Amino acid sequence: MEPFDLLPYWDEAALDALVPPRKGREAYVELHNLIAAAGRPDAFGPEDLVRIGRRHGVDLRRAFRQERLTLYATYLHHAAARGLPEAERATLAHLARTLHLDAADLGPLHEHAFGRAVTDVLADNCLSVEERLLLYALQHALGLDPAAASAAYEAAARERLLVAVARALCDGALSPEEAEEIAALERALDVRVPERVAQMLAEASYGWRLRHGPLPNVKVGVNLHRGEAGHFGVDGRWREVNYALLRVLLREHRERLHQGQTAGLRIPEHALMGRKWFEGHIAVTSVRLALARPGGKPKDHGLRSLVGVERYANGVRVSIRGGRTILLDAGSANGALYTVLWRLVYPDRPLPEEGA
């Protein structure tokens, strides 16, 4: 019977790989081959299981359970690929009775078969009306609990969606085209990204706009002057840097310093001046970098006075005309802070690639 092959009685090595030697193996091989050779389902039945077992001195209703489950699963996947029509369902039920498999045995096999069907229909990242109907019919034909079937579909669909999300986020930014692709996939698969992933997408979309779109006008936590626009504000800390000492401490990376490829480097503690960090609020506007300590007046550095901006693993270093250097640390917002400062200080220069 399709799709089964006969097991080789005569080739012990080949048989060992298929059915490891143990008491009653000949009984199982005979049962398997009876089913495989059958031209139609009524050529075998539960009585054959009992008869063959008795002749070989083994109870096939209990022995070789995994082999019996595998035999059923093979035909189940074969039938499911055909849409599980009524005739196939009848054959499956007859095979289950013949192999002495009950509902507890069949449940996991049916859930797995449904999961495979879901994966197959989602292979093109789309779920047509016909495919919806096929899954609905398959769910009922296999007797699956609707909640379990729904969970299986959602898990597979969300996995497909998250693969697309991971591909879009590999550069840390989300373009409008990539965002629309993900939204279209959500609609096609009728599934949504988890809340934490949605937050990642929102942050990546914001990062893309910072790099490629107009800088946003936002509240930055300091009072603005007439005609001044706020572009970025965050709580953070800052500390002066001895730049001459920094170059000595990072002399092994002189070439990277010269080329501005500093994102993977850390500014050592020994290069920092003073005994502690200043903590407060960091604001960037269209005309200045403002560093405000709690209760104090912001210390302003005009954008025209900033002559250098570098990204480090532990912050953003800004060089101020006159020889001063400050390390700004905004934590997880360091990337955004660096992007805004770079675009304002170097409006005619492309932003360096991430990781440079």
Least Cα distance to 178 among 169, 187, 186 occurs for 169
pLDDT for residue 133: 67
Q: Is 70 exceeded by the pLDDT of residue 75?
A: yes
The domain locations on the chain are 230-345
- Provide, rounded to the nearest whole percent, the portion of the chain with pLDDT above 90: 57
C-alpha R_g of the chain: 34
Least Cα distance to 317 among 294, 345, 275 occurs for 345
Predicted confidence band at 354 (pLDDT cuts at 50, 70, 90)? low
- The pair of three-digit structure tokens given for residue 155, joined into one six-digit string: 């898990």
Least Cα distance to 286 among 206, 208, 221, 343 occurs for 343
The pLDDT tens digits of the residues spanning 58-71 come to 999 999 999 999 99
pLDDT for residue 68: 95
Predicted confidence band at 355 (pLDDT cuts at 50, 70, 90)? very low
Q: How many CB atoms neighbour CB 48 within 10 A?
A: 17
pLDDT for residue 300: 96
Specify the 3-state DSSP secondary structure of 338.
Answer: helix
Q: Is 70 exceeded by the pLDDT of residue 356?
A: no
Least Cα distance to 193 among 210, 181, 177 occurs for 181
Q: Is 70 exceeded by the pLDDT of residue 144?
A: yes
Cα dihedral sign, 102-76-6-17? negative
- Strand 299-302 to strand 306-312: parallel, antiparallel, or no bridges (unpaired)? unpaired
Q: What is the mean pLDDT of residues 229-247?
A: 95
Backbone phi and psi for residue 72, each to the nearest 5 degrees, phi listed first:
-65, -45
Least confident of 101-110, 153-162, 271-280, 298-307: 153-162
Q: What number does CATH give the domain 230-345?
A: 2.30.29.30
Q: What is the mean pLDDT of residues 239-244?
A: 96
Q: What is the mean pLDDT of residues 212-232?
A: 93
Q: Is 70 exceeded by the pLDDT of residue 295?
A: yes
The overall average pLDDT reported for the chain is: 90
The DSSP line for 196-256 is HHHHHHHHHHHHHHHHHSPPP----SSPPPTT--EEEEEEEEEEEB-HHHHHHHTGGGHHH
pLDDT for residue 80: 85
The pLDDT tens digits of the residues spanning 251-290 come to 999 888 888 889 999 999 999 999 899 999 999 999 999 9
